[in-house]
Structure 1
Amino acid sequence: MAAAAASPRRVSVFQSPQELGRALAQLVTEQAAAATGGRFSLGLSGGSLVDMLARELPSAAGPAAAPERWLVALCDERLVPLEHPESTTGAYQARLLPRLPPPGPRVLIPATGLAPAAAAADYAEQLRQAFPGEDVPVFDLLLLGIGPDGHTASLFPGHPLLQEDERIVAALTDSPKPPPQRITLTLPVLNAARAVVFVATGDSKAAVLKRILEGDAEENPLPAARVRPRSGRLRWLLDQAAAKELTLPVEKPPPS
């Protein structure tokens, strides 16, 4: 699979995480309403995105968004039981999915009780069945977070998985951020999406965002900087604290 070329990007800075959350929910529902082919495929990350989406998305997901047409998958998952506090699947099942209009979306659920390699193979097969005829699944929208170290999904700085160009889902047993056993979508999948949105809030993200958004894109080794959809759109939604070190021109939407 070829490396991705640089993609145009938009950087929007909101006055607060609450304003950002409302804009994100509107963006998701607009993308869902515009999706063609009978469904809307959405990849979700965990962390603070869970509560942000749980707070804002149910009220925004009206009839035009048709949540029953959504196919929801996770961008990565920790291999822990669903009831574990580190389970992203469990968090979405508890906080977001029950609040969407029934019957709700179809959700691909990682087999977290398997060994890492087997869990990755199982999830890859689920994706291949959900995206028949596509060597690499093409999501309508991926929502990604970013760590202070520049990681996204479960792709960490300096990790060999950054070089993966064949598998669509990979396992890792040595995550530098616990828990160590995880599965993750790989860069070929992230870079095949029709739209990718990074969401970042808080002071702890300011330094790494400056490095990614204002550094040398070709020499930047951080995982999040390597997400450059080949033909899709790339957008960054930040709050003021996360964007405080940026000097590049940004969009500043009015308060909603």
Structure 2
Amino acid sequence: MSPKEVKIVPSEEEVIKTLCELIQDIARTAIQRDDVFKVGLSGGSLTKFLTVGLPKIETDWAKWRLFFCDERVVPVESADSTYGVYKSSLIGIVPLTEEQFIKIDPHLTAEEAAKDYIQKMAVHFPPDSLPRFHLLLLGMGPDGHTCSLFPDHRLLEETSVWVAPITNSPKPPASRITLTFPVVNNAECCIFALTGAGKADIVKRVLKDEEPLPAARVKPTDGKLYWILDNSAAAHITDM
């Protein structure tokens, strides 16, 4: 099982700083070794953290390849498009190009988009093996979901494909694609970064009570797992 490190810092500002310094270090190591940095992005509050923090790091941006841990099958112009948010908030702020983002085709059905995304991913990883990302940046919802892997959903047990479609997401929009757990847990590093009192209960349920919620199933088999929390999000686990 992966080594897990929980970092508790005073404020959201410190979460962003800690997160982006860690990203900087992981990217540097990956680029030195592999001449590329392959990172999976999530939406939600993580988009704000990265928009604020990434412009302050030092890295060889040209070596970055940015994938999506999950994505909503909606037009890029939609506020629900995770790529759309990063496109508007990062491109032009840091020297990334649209071509460095490996994105879904939003004009396809979820089933077709998932198959298409597998083909797009395959170009960037060795053949005949599970993709091994340098880093996956993950979020967690109030129900303990991560990526678009929701509690009690059949996709939690999906092992036959890298990327799965979901058309009945309990959180709208209903139509999405998501990395599956075999790929998530094959990553070299996974990071959760969470802030606010609204996350305190679910953080306790996952980290202290060890409920078998989707986020608790993120356990890289040969990698590292970080949880970066502010004091409010960590309020119920300080005696761990």
TM superposition score normalised by structure 2? 0.95
CA distance in 1, matches of 2:216, 2:102: 27
* Contact in 2 for aligned 1:50/1:96 (Cα 8 Å): no
Residue 237 of structure 1 corresponds to which residue in structure 2? 228
List, as ranges, runs of 4+ consecutive aligned residues in structure 1 with deviation greater than 6 Å: none
Residue 135 of structure 1 deviates from its aligned partner by 2.2
* Match of residue 228, structure 1, among 205, 219, 222: 219
TM superposition score normalised by structure 1? 0.90
Residue 117 of structure 1 corresponds to which residue in structure 2? 111
* Match of residue 13, structure 1, among 8, 12, 17: 8
* Match of residue 136, structure 1, among 123, 130, 147: 130
CA distance in 2, matches of 1:145, 1:102: 22
Q: Does 1:46 align with 2:14?
A: no
RMSD: 1.4
Q: Residue 237 of structure 1 aligns to which amino acid in structure 2?
A: I
The C-alpha deviation readout for 1:180-226, integer Å capped at 9, x for no partner, is: 0000000011000000001111112111111111124xxx3210011
Q: Structure 2 vs 1, CA of residues 178 and 81 (structure 1 numbering), >3 Å: closer, same or farther?
A: same
Residue 203 of structure 1 corresponds to which residue in structure 2? 197
Residue 53 of structure 2 corresponds to which residue in structure 1? 56
CA distance in 1, matches of 2:85, 2:164: 22
Q: Does 1:190 align with 2:181?
A: no
CA distance in 1, matches of 2:162, 2:45: 25
Q: Residue 216 of structure 2 aligns to which amino acid in structure 1?
A: A
- In terms of mean alpha carbon deviation, does 115-124 or 196-205 score higher? 196-205
* Match of residue 30, structure 1, among 13, 17, 25: 25
The unaligned stretches of length 5 or more in structure 2 are none
Q: Residue 22 of structure 2 aligns to which amino acid in structure 1?
A: L
Question: For 1:114, what is the secondary structure of its paired residue?
Answer: coil
Residue 30 of structure 1 deviates from its aligned partner by 1.1
Residue 103 of structure 1 deviates from its aligned partner by 5.5
Residue 138 of structure 1 deviates from its aligned partner by 0.2
Residue 37 of structure 1 deviates from its aligned partner by 1.3
* Contact in 1 for aligned 2:39/2:67 (Cα 8 Å): yes
Question: For 2:123, what is the secondary structure of its paired residue?
Answer: helix
Residue 248 of structure 1 deviates from its aligned partner by 4.1
The unaligned stretches of length 5 or more in structure 1 are 1-5, 250-256
Q: Structure 2 vs 1, CA of residues 105 and 19 (structure 1 numbering), >3 Å: closer, same or farther?
A: farther
* Contact in 2 for aligned 1:13/1:237 (Cα 8 Å): yes
Q: Does 1:106 align with 2:106?
A: no
* Contact in 1 for aligned 2:90/2:96 (Cα 8 Å): no
Equivalent residue runs for 1:70-81 within 5 Å: 70-81=64-75
Residue 134 of structure 1 deviates from its aligned partner by 4.7
Q: Structure 2 vs 1, CA of residues 162 and 103 (structure 1 numbering), >3 Å: closer, same or farther?
A: closer
* Contact in 1 for aligned 2:206/2:212 (Cα 8 Å): no
